[in-house]
Amino acid sequence: MTQNPFLSSYTTPHQTAPFDKIKNADYLPALKDGLAQGRKDVDAIVANTATPTFENTIVALERSGDLLGKVTSVLFNLNSAETTPELQKIVKEASPLLSEYGNDITLNEKLFARVKAVYDQRASLKLDPESAMLLEKSYKRFARNGANLNEKGKERLRAIDKELSQLSLQFGENVLNETNEYTMVVTDEKDLAGLPDFARDAAKATAKQKGKEGWVFTLQAPSYGPFMQYADNRELRKKLFMAYNGRGFHGDKNDNSAIINKIVNLRYERANLLGYKTHADFVLEESMAGSRDKVQSFLNELVTYARPAAERQLAELTTYAKAHGFTDDKLQTWDNSYYAEKLKKEKYDLDDETLKPYFKLENVLNGVFTVANKLYGVTFKERTDIPVYNSEVKTFDVFDKDGKFLAVFYGDYFPRAGKRSGAWMNDIQGQKVENGENIRPHIINVCNFTRPTDTKPSLLTFYEVTTLFHEFGHGLHGMLANGKYESLSGTSVPRDFVELPSQVMENWCYDPEALKLFAKHYQTGEVIPNELIEKIRASQNFMAGMANLRQLRLGLVDMYYHGQKPTGETISQVESRVDSVANLFPHVDGIAVSPAFSHIFAGGYSAGYYSYKWSEVLDADAFEFFKEKGGLDNKAAADSFRKNVLEKGGSEKPMELYKKFRGREPSPKAMLRRSGLIL
């Protein structure tokens, strides 16, 4: 009988996960062993007859459950990036077990009594800031998750958490199924009018892969986006748009409407049970924003800047469209990208087809490595002997400026049937210091970029370039982590602070010095000309009012669901309320954003989607600091950002870390200026 690879030390380079040896049959047995071991660790803390101390209670609890973390990090990473029906079944079985285990810890009265005993004497413990934060977070983990409830309340909390874990999984699976099951087959070449060669080639390759004649378009971003931007055939644009925006909303086996209703009501009930008015109050207590009212005011204020700009831009776009053959009274949403792309081309003589040859994936990846090197001194060396879960995944050793090993970095860049849409960063092993050893992290970036074809390498759109830099910014937050405790390390920060490192990195995509490091023509090697760089910079605010309004709309939808008592309204009613404030396009029956809004219903962004805009305030303000004194050569800014933000994780309060980096609190004016919303 072969040994379960999870149950012994890995013999791979840097003890990376042995993906080549892990089988589906290994997960549940290892997970159950991990649960048993975790419970044994907790029992030992509770049974300790010594007076509760920071070390024997708080640190011991932090160190418990190592095997469980080892199994779940692999399982849930794969369920997002390389899932199968069998793996989904395993995750469905595992999730309620994990929910129950989490509740067994936070609802353990004797354990909480020990944690509280340490917390009550915190003023006299003379802890360093990181240890003080661990103590505070440990106490709140119990207090905010039912430790003070009576037995009836605890039982109800367990039932809610178990159901929520299953509902979120089902929601994500439904969206993935809807995305994978849809194809639009085009057999008449006339219907491809307007599409550039790269989009035609990709559609032809997809058709070949699926055994179809003609060209196949899917709901994956590299297929969907270009079709909406370039296809002259308005009816086909509408058809694809309706499919994409109707995901989870067809009244069939993949419909998410009832799931949303259950999730929203259960989250509200859970918050009430714990003494909070709404789910948003519960979530935001631990955020940088601090309160539901602050978030609502923030979103509403930004709408007052974004909406007038969006109205002007939509009027300009409508005038342009009518001058170019559009005969209806109003533009529909499926006309937006199409005419915006044409107007952008006319105003700035710029489009993706012009830019893509300069953004070969390998060059962009080398570029983001070079930017990281110039800022923080880190270097990347590709390896081919680290096991991967799919042959397309690239792996790298990451070294610090002194040559010391820092991290393992995995890059997974192309869409597949088993991969959910979007882009994200995760860790497979977190960073921590244990027994005097600084255990370094294993970080992964997962994206869905344009695939190479038979005739061309993977050439990225500019949006894909910014996405790669964004996720790599999250990656740096993980790779440069340098804390003592894994639960406070890397990206373990409040949701409205976690986007700061990622969005700061996006800024370099518009920086001439940074662009010239990697934007080189894939055939000639020619560095991107200054003229194109100026056009990229000039077009940075193109339709920014409309883009801002779209993001604010999503944030407002999130807060409508989670910032009040559930209204019992249908999804369409909820969205039409928000649309009256934050959407300029005509209402369309049969579509909705909520049923595929995985960030808030299958991810960790419930009552937190505003954080993208909140972090824009931070990143614009932060990047002005980088640019004040030399850009990539601004060692003072880079060193301060690394020391006070990237290395610190959640070891101190975010505003304190930001002030240490910047020397003051952030000002929203930089973001409003950058977006063209104020002069």
Point out the domain boundary residue: 229, 246, 263.
246
Q: What CATH number has the domain bearing residue 67?
A: 1.20.1050.40
190 falls within a domain: yes
pLDDT tens-place string over residues 387-444: 999 999 999 999 999 999 999 999 999 999 999 989 999 999 999 999 999 999 999 9
Based on the fold, state whether residues 28 and 87 are members of the same structural domain.
Answer: yes
Its pTM stands at 0.92
338 falls within a domain: no
Based on the fold, state whether residues 103 and 235 are members of the same structural domain.
Answer: no
Q: What is the phi-psi region of residue 590: left when phi exceeds 0, alpha when psi lies from -120 to 50, beta otherwise? A: left
Based on the fold, state whether residues 127 and 209 are members of the same structural domain.
Answer: no
Based on the fold, state whether residues 106 and 26 are members of the same structural domain.
Answer: yes
471 is an active site residue = yes
Point out the domain boundary residue: 224, 246, 268.
246
What are the residues facing 412 on neighbouring strands?
446
377 falls within a domain: no
546 falls within a domain: no
Query: Is a pLDDT exceeding 90 seen at residue 629?
Result: no
Lowest mean pLDDT among 67-71, 283-287, 361-365, 674-678: 674-678
Number of domains composing the chain: 2
Give the model's pLDDT for residue 425.
Answer: 97
Based on the fold, state whether residues 125 and 78 are members of the same structural domain.
Answer: yes
Based on the fold, state whether residues 62 and 133 are members of the same structural domain.
Answer: yes
109 falls within a domain: yes
Based on the fold, state whether residues 127 and 195 are members of the same structural domain.
Answer: no
Q: Contact, 465 vs 578, CB < 8 A? A: no
Point out the domain boundary residue: 196, 225, 246.
246
Based on the fold, state whether residues 142 and 15 are members of the same structural domain.
Answer: yes
Query: Is a pLDDT exceeding 80 seen at residue 678?
Result: no
- C-alpha closest to that of 421 among 596, 272, 653: 596
161 falls within a domain: no
657 falls within a domain: no
Q: Residues 464, 471, 506, 575: which is the catalytic one? A: 471
Lowest mean pLDDT among 2-6, 78-82, 316-320: 2-6
Based on the fold, state whether residues 128 and 187 are members of the same structural domain.
Answer: no
609 falls within a domain: no
* Position 1 confidence tier, pLDDT thresholds 50, 70, 90: low
Query: Is a pLDDT exceeding 70 seen at residue 505?
Result: yes
Residue 205 is part of which domain span?
182-246
Cα 413 to chain centroid distance, Å, stands at: 15
Longest dimension (CA), the chain: 82
Burial class (CB in 10 A: 0-12, 13-18, 19+), 4: middle
Based on the fold, state whether residues 223 and 133 are members of the same structural domain.
Answer: no
Burial class (CB in 10 A: 0-12, 13-18, 19+), 437: exposed
Based on the fold, state whether residues 76 and 16 are members of the same structural domain.
Answer: yes
Based on the fold, state whether residues 102 and 37 are members of the same structural domain.
Answer: yes
Mean pLDDT, rounded, for 618-634: 92
What are the residues facing 459 on neighbouring strands?
360
DSSP, residue by residue, 495-554: HHHHHHHHHHHHGGGG-HHHHHHH-B-TTT-PBPPHHHHHHHHHTTTTTHHHHHHHHHHH
What mean pLDDT value characterizes the chain? 96
Q: Token pair for residue 153?
A: 């309340």
